[in-house]
Amino acid sequence: MKSSRRPSPLQRLRRMHDQLVAAYGPQSWWPAETSFEVVLGAYLTQNTAWKAVEKSLANLRAVGALTIAGLRSVPLEELRVLVRPSGFSTRKAPALKAFVAMLDEEFSGSLDVLAATPTLALRHRLLALPGVGPETADAILLYALGHAVPMADEYLRRIAERHQLVEPAPGRNRRGYESLVRLTQQAFAADPVEGHTQLFNEFHALNVAVGKAHCGRTARCIGCPLADDLQWTKSDPI
Ligand code: SF4
């Protein structure tokens, strides 16, 4: 039976975080050892599965190119071959080179200097790089550079649309992405600001967890930790 007071979408999204924590526990997530590996992973994972990324990262590790210095010195042609397992290598290899060139020319070749840039300016700069869309920029900001920005990836989009927290965004467009970012920021607005980086980090990882277990291309709602929230939707999820 529905409770009398209908929670807002923001309250529901915040509560979904708590339900996921209760179901899956802390995730402490991003499968990489260094901040620069996170950057590499954020580029390489575009339009491909993480298993393929791991093959590219193993190739890069074998030639010492998992560091800024290593990637700087590897020739572009060789880099294309090394990242081929994760697909789109003719686009991803130059994009990685462009990231390192930006780092060298504008941030003294240092991720720490890059990370010290204010969040909005930094996001704007990353989005101006070739091969960097909002999801890649936010993954770098959050997981490599420690900035408090939410990730609005495909998993969160599916959940939010199926729970009717946002309007469906045809073709994963930029407006849809940004509205999901805003919704998440607002849902956590009452939480202490200093905890936002950790909350956004965990929330993204938890969305991936529930996405893999239940909310993939087909929704498997029975037994899903978020099924209780469906009481507030007007129709069943597709
Ligand atoms: S599987 Fe069903 S209950 Fe779970 S998140 Fe997806 S739509 Fe919601």
What is the pLDDT at residue 237?
62
In a domain, 81, yes or no: yes
When divided into structural domains, the chain yields a total of 2
In a domain, 4, yes or no: no
The whole model's pTM is what?
0.89
Binding pocket residue ranges, ligand 1, CB within 6 Å: 159, 162-163, 210, 214-215, 219-221, 224, 226-227, 230, 237
What is the pLDDT at residue 50?
86
Mutation test of ligand 1: which of 24, 159, 233, 235 has the most ligand atoms closer than 8 Å to its C-beta? 159
Residues 174 and 208 in one domain: yes
What is the pLDDT at residue 211?
96
In the listed set 116, 144, 172, which residue is the last one of a domain according to the structure? 144
Residue-wise pLDDT tens digits, 91-104: 999 999 999 999 99
User: SS3 of 215, please?
Assistant: strand
Closest ligand 1 atom, residue 219 Cα:
1
Q: Compute the C-alpha angle 206/212/216, nearest 5°.
A: 115
CATH assignment of the domain containing 68: 1.10.340.30
What's the number of CA atoms in the CB half-sphere (13 Å) around residue 77?
A: 0
Helix, strand, coil % (nearest 5) of the chain?
65, 0, 35
If you search the block for the tokens 């099924």, which residue do you land on? Answer: 227
Per-residue burial over 6-33, b = 16 or more CB atoms within 10 Å of its CB, e = otherwise:
eeebbebbbebbebbbebbeebeebebe
In a domain, 3, yes or no: no
Q: Which two tokens stand for residue 20?
A: 């996921």
In a domain, 2, yes or no: no
Give the separation between CA 73 and CA 66, rounded to whole angstroms.
Answer: 11
Nearest to 32 by CA among 9, 66, 3, 5: 66
Residues 159 and 214 in one domain: yes
In the listed set 118, 144, 170, which residue is the last one of a domain according to the structure? 144
Which residues make Cβ contacts (< 8 Å) with residue 103, sequence separation at least 6? 68, 109, 110, 111, 114
User: SS3 of 238, please?
Assistant: coil
Q: Compute the C-alpha angle 32/148/201, nearest 5°.
A: 40
Residues 66 and 99 in one domain: yes
In a domain, 1, yes or no: no
Length of the chain as a residue count: 238
Closest ligand 1 atom, residue 158 Cα:
6
What is the pLDDT at residue 26?
87
Residues 23 and 64 in one domain: no
What is the pLDDT at residue 28?
76
What is the pLDDT at residue 113?
97
Q: Which residues of the chain have pLDDT under 70?
A: 1-4, 31, 170-172, 236-238
Nearest to 178 by CA among 132, 133, 134: 134
Query: What phi and psi, each to the nearest 5 degrees, are found at residue 215?
Result: -110, 60
Can you give the residue range of the structural domain that contains 188? 9-28+151-232
Name the residue at shortest CA distance from atom 3 of ligand 1: 227
